[in-house]
Amino acid sequence: MGVVGGGQLARMMQQPAIALGVQLRLLADSPDDSAAQVIADTVIGDYRDLDTLRRFAQGCSVVTFDHEHVPSDHLRALVDDGVVVRPGPDALVFAQDKGLMRQRLASLGAPLPRWQPVSSVGDVRAFADECGYPLVLKATRGGYDGKGVWLVSNEHEAGEVLSHDQVPGFIAEELVEYTRELSAMVARSPSGQAVAYPVVETVQRDGICHEVYAPAPGIAEDHAVAAQQIALRIAGELDVIGVMAVELFDTVTGVLVNELAMRPHNSGHWGIDGAVTSQFENHLRAVLDLPLGDPSATAPCTVMVNLLGGDLDDLYRAYLHCMARDPSMKFHMYGKAVKPGRKVGHVTAVGADLSDLLERTRHAVAYLRGDIDE
Amino acid sequence: MGVVGGGQLARMMQQPAIALGVQLRLLADSPDDSAAQVIADTVIGDYRDLDTLRRFAQGCSVVTFDHEHVPSDHLRALVDDGVVVRPGPDALVFAQDKGLMRQRLASLGAPLPRWQPVSSVGDVRAFADECGYPLVLKATRGGYDGKGVWLVSNEHEAGEVLSHDQVPGFIAEELVEYTRELSAMVARSPSGQAVAYPVVETVQRDGICHEVYAPAPGIAEDHAVAAQQIALRIAGELDVIGVMAVELFDTVTGVLVNELAMRPHNSGHWGIDGAVTSQFENHLRAVLDLPLGDPSATAPCTVMVNLLGGDLDDLYRAYLHCMARDPSMKFHMYGKAVKPGRKVGHVTAVGADLSDLLERTRHAVAYLRGDIDE
């Protein structure tokens, strides 16, 4: 099974691959990449080069992804070569292009914030007449972790954003008054089997996921069911293969779809320690058309907190402290050098008492970052 | 961290190594070895060759093992070179030599079956005068999975066993009337921290572990505590670093020590899915002198059943069937070609109802072996 991209998502696929007896082949930029450190069959090369992709795919029974940046044309060329690519380019394009995604989801009747493709200040003005300022501008392609998303308060700011000449297109979106953000993760296999994970609450800062609570505490049952049904419907209609995360806004009147990710997603990391079958295992199972595993939580509550690079660049002593303080904390380190704001790991605690889990996970991350020293 | 030996134990160390951010370097016989398939930094070479071991150990902050077959003299030479070897040769020798182990445990006052070193039929006769036939003869070194153990009913059979000229020494042991076999797993770090796992019941056939129930169902509390205390005491007195399994006989009058293994052990595989911290993770933590993780079970009951090679040599279709039948079953495949009787994987089920878990795990293994087809 080929995996394009050497980040932490590919790294975390290797754990269930070892259990399931699945041999991974990795295409990474460098032997130091997070996943390249832990996968024996690693090819170093550039995923933007079609010949490199073709050579890499030879001998793989299926090719999947750590990220969504492989050009659609390259994926279509691989498919034309007879390579099995999952998810396929016709599905993946909806995770790659926010404009196409919203167009398609609107046609399916999925609940969305009001939105409009925009290419000029005049377009933004027309949209603002309807929805008001502040509003959100998004690059249709290439954004992640808050990059490619701008909150603008007036035409002048909108004009500055639209002047980014490396962005292929923009959409404008109303600023939704949400009570919290949710993520609905599903896995779907080529034979059409699909499973839905418990809907989780995600806490984002500056567009970057910081914390995940599984399941979303106190969520209205009808909102949770709606989120799962929307995710299952999208996966089916778009013929998604593998796992997909649907990020949603929870509002007083219901849920609205925000973004799609057609790969393992930060909002699903909790399941490595807190679900019977992790998103990584179900991604492998789905992509290989194996029967899917049980997505149920194993405990009443799981909290995952991301470790973003902070002041400490040598984690070792802090790591010792945190392990000694909390023997049941689960640590996940990605083998990446610490840079401020970079996702270098996450911690997870599983139990029954949300406030206890929050206190412990937040303390561990603050200590590992160097924000606190006691 | 260097690991000598490319079997499934080293393979299963890679899963927590990925999580903890520990970079493994493997010494394997062949690139096709179970662990070599999944560890990026693999050196191919013969662990019986001291120069190979020396080159392998360069740059490792610590060296540990997948098996106990590395010659003691080589380990001592590495230690003299300044290599950190854990567990060290002075501890490991007691797992390598059953005669030395019994001698040392007797001196510690650990409860043992009656035993005696023997080198002639006359020695066996003298021992049999005391304990009667049938009795057990064991090779002091080199045995595993039932190899190197013989049940003999008379002097003639004893003479045949003693004529094995490749065996460096023998002990005779009384045939214990036990109610069941137990295993007490502990982890111990260089700083002296130690944790004890729940005592499990193991079911052996022909000296090979078939099933493990965690915790041992209905075990008398005092027997379980005694088993844990014996294991912790042995680990402390012998200065064991890493995990150690103490295999015991449970009898109506108490527990008796049978064997020691100073490495992850088949009787601890249940904990990958059923404990907060698996034996593999605690082995890494201990060997690296990191604080140890919580060894508690996450559920009332976990059943692990080994998959020994059977009639089926292509597992794929059976694997599909078993995954579809039981979405919460955990599969562990070692990447080894199927040969009759060879350990090629295991399955684990976690829950509350022992009989349900037994039915499901036994069915899965019987199906994967080809013993049943429905």
Q: Give per-residue pLDDT as tens, A264-284.
A: 999 999 999 999 999 999 999
* Nearest partner of A124 among A164, A165, A152, A166, judged by Cα: A152
Cβ–Cβ gap B320/A277 under 8 Å: no
- Judging contacts by C-beta atoms under 8 Å, the chain B residues touching residue A318 are none
pLDDT digits (tens, 9 = 90+) for A103-142: 999 999 999 999 999 999 999 999 999 999 999 999 998 7
Phi, psi dihedrals of residue A338, rounded to the nearest 5°: -75, 125
How many contacts, defined by CB atoms under 8 Å, are there between A and B? Answer: 105
Quickly list H helices, chain A: 8-20, 50-57, 72-81, 89-96, 98-108, 121-131, 155-162, 221-237, 271-274, 279-287, 316-325, 354-369
Q: How far apart are CA A82 and CA A219, in angstroms?
A: 45
Contacts of B32 (CB under 8 A, 6+ apart): none
Q: Which residue of A has its CA nearest to B38?
A: A40
Contact A296 B328 (CB under 8 A): yes
Q: How far is B320 from chain A (nearest CA, A)?
A: 6
Burial (Cβ within 10 Å: 0-12, 13-18, ≥19) of residue B178: middle
Structure tokens at A155: 């035409």
For residue A303, give the H/E element and its range.
strand A301-308
| Alpha-carbon gap, residue B262 to B243, rounded angstroms | 6
- Which ranges of B61-120 does DSSP label H, i.e. alpha helix? 72-81, 89-96, 98-108
- Chain B CB contacts of A291 below 8 Å: 320, 323-324, 327
Q: Are B369 and B310 in contact (CB under 8 A)?
A: yes
Asked whether the predicted pLDDT for residue A316 surpasses 90, the reply is no
Which chain A residue lies closest to B289 (C-alpha atoms)?
Answer: A320
* B109 CB-near residues (< 8 Å, 6+ apart): none
Cβ atoms of residues A3 and A26 within 8 Å: yes
Length of chain B: 374
CB pair distance less than 8 Å for A291 and B323? yes
Residues of A in contact with B318 (CB under 8 A): none
Dihedral of the alpha carbons of A242, A81, B316, A13, in degrees to the nearest 10: -40
Q: Residue A292: its chain B contacts at CB < 8 A?
A: 327
Neighbours of A220 (CB within 10 A): 13
DSSP conformation class of A207:
T
For chain B, which residues lie within 8 Å of any Cβ of chain A, measuring from their own Cβ?
11-12, 14-15, 17-21, 23, 36-40, 42, 195, 272, 276-277, 285, 290-294, 296, 298-299, 319-320, 323-324, 327-328, 330-335, 345, 350
Looking up tokens 């004893």 gives B158
Strand partners, B331: B347
Asked if the Cβ–Cβ distance from A290 to B37 is below 8 Å, we say: no
- What pLDDT tens digit does each residue of chain B (374 aa) get? 999 999 999 999 999 999 999 999 999 999 999 999 999 999 999 999 999 999 999 999 999 999 999 999 999 999 999 999 999 999 999 999 999 999 999 999 999 999 999 999 999 999 999 999 999 999 998 766 668 899 999 999 999 999 987 888 999 999 999 999 999 999 999 999 999 999 999 999 888 899 999 999 999 999 999 999 999 999 999 999 999 999 999 999 999 999 999 999 999 999 999 999 999 999 999 999 999 999 999 999 999 999 999 877 778 889 999 999 999 999 999 999 999 989 999 999 999 999 999 999 999 999 999 998 87
Q: Is B276–A328 a contact, with Cβ atoms under 8 angstroms apart?
A: yes
Q: Is B370 exposed, middle or buried (0-12, 13-18, 19+ CB in 10 A)?
A: middle
Task: Give the residue from chain A lying closest to B325, CA to CA.
Answer: A291
How far from chain centre, in Å, is Cα A279? Answer: 11
CA distances from residue B321 to B282, B329, B359 in whole angstroms, order as listed: 33, 12, 16
Which pLDDT score, from 0 to 100, does residue B300 have?
Answer: 97
Q: Phi, psi at residue A297, to the nearest 5°?
A: -75, 150
- β-pairing, B242-251 vs B330-333, is unpaired
First to last CA, chain A: 45
Calculate how close chain A gets to B292, using CA atoms only, in Å.
Answer: 7
Tokens, residue A198: 């418990």
Task: Give yes or no for a contact between B167 and B97, defined as CB atoms under 8 angstroms apart.
Answer: no
- Report residue A225: phi and psi, to 5°: -65, -40
DSSP state of A165: T
Contacts of A42 in chain B (CB under 8 A): 40
For A183-236, the pLDDT digits (tens) are 999 999 999 999 999 999 999 988 889 999 999 999 999 999 999 999 999 999
Other beta carbons within 10 angstroms of residue A98's beta carbon come to: 26
Structure token digits, residue A246: 């649907």
Distance CA A272, CA B17 (A): 14
Which of B23, B296, B333 is nearest residue A37 as measured by Cβ atoms? B23
Where helices occur in chain B by DSSP H, the ranges are: 8-20, 50-57, 72-81, 89-96, 98-108, 121-131, 155-162, 221-237, 271-274, 279-287, 316-325, 354-369
Residue listed under structure tokens 């779907």: A188
Place of tokens 């057990």: B136
Nearest residue of B to residue A193, measured between CA atoms: B324
Q: How are beta strands A200-205 and A180-188 bridged, if at all?
A: antiparallel
Compute φ and ψ for A191, nearest 5 degrees: -80, 0
Q: Write down the pLDDT at residue A154.
A: 96
Residues of A in contact with B334 (CB under 8 A): 21
In Å, how far is B188's CA from the nearest CA of chain A? 14
DSSP, collapsed to helix, strand or coil, labels residue A85 as: strand
Measured CA to CA, the distance from residue A336 to residue B372 in angstroms comes to 47
Which residues sit opposite A102 in a β-bridge? none
Pair of tokens at residue A232: 């299952």
**How far B279 CA sits from the closest chain A CA (Å)?**
14
Q: How far is B45 from chain A (nearest CA, A)?
A: 17
pLDDT at position A255: 97
Minimal Cα–Cα distance from A316 to chain B, Å?
Answer: 10
Residue B145 has what pLDDT?
66
C-alpha span between B233 and B327 (Å, rounded): 41
Chain A: nearest CA to B324, how far in angstroms? 5
Complex ipTM value: 0.94
8 A C-beta contact, residue B241 and residue B88: yes
**C-alpha A116: how far from its chain's center?**
24
Nearest to A270 by CA among A317, A316, A330, A310: A330
Asked if B291 and A320 come within 8 Å (Cβ–Cβ), the reply is yes
- Does A23 sit within 8 Å of B328, measured CB to CB? no
Q: Which residues of A touch B332 (CB under 8 A)?
A: 19
State whether the Cα torsion A71-A77-A83-A84 is positive or negative: positive
Distance from CA of B16 to the nearest CA of A (A): 8
Subunit contact B38:A18, Cβ cutoff 8 A: yes
Q: At B318, list the tokens.
A: 């059976």
Of B100, B24, B37, nearest to B65 (Cα)? B24
Q: Cβ contacts (< 8 Å) between B290 and chain A: which residues?
A: 319-320, 323
Beta carbons of B291 and A12 less than 8 Å apart: no
Q: Which of B14, B36, B350 sits opposite A18 (nearest CB)?
A: B14
Q: Which residues of B touch A330 (CB under 8 A)?
A: 19
Residues of chain A neighbouring B276 (CB-CB closer than 8 A): 327-328
What residues of A are in contact with residue B333 (Cβ under 8 Å)?
A: 19-21
Within A244-353, residue ranges assigned H as helices are 271-274, 279-287, 316-325
Compare CB distances from A40 to B38, B272, B334 and report the shortest one's residue: B38
- Helices of type H across B109-207: 121-131, 155-162
**Nearest residue of B to residue A290, measured between CA atoms:** B320
Report how far residue A167's alpha carbon sits from residue A69's, in angstroms, rounded to the nearest whole number. Answer: 14
Q: Tell me the residue ranges of DSSP E strands in A145-232.
A: 149-152, 170-174, 180-188, 194-196, 200-205, 208-214
The residues that bridge with B306 in the sheet, in sequence order, are B346
Question: A72 with A92: CB under 8 angstroms?
Answer: yes
- Based on its alpha-carbon atoms, the radius of gyration of chain A, rounded to whole angstroms, reads 20
Please enumerate in sequence order all residues whose Cβ is within 8 A of that of A200, keeping only pairs 6 or more positions apart, or say none. Answer: A182, A183, A185, A212, A213, A214, A215, A216, A267, A268, A270
CB contact under 8 A, B332 and A19: yes
Spatial contact of B185 and B242, defined as CB atoms under 8 Å apart = no
With beta carbons less than 8 A apart as the criterion, state whether A122 and A152 touch.
no
Longest distance between any two alpha carbons in chain B, whole Å = 59
| Subunit contact B18:A15, Cβ cutoff 8 A | yes
A chain contacts of residue B316, beta-carbon cutoff 8 Å: none
Coil vs helix vs strand at A152: strand
Distance from C-alpha of A81 to C-alpha of B82, rounded to nearest angstrom: 54
Indicate the DSSP class of residue A268: G
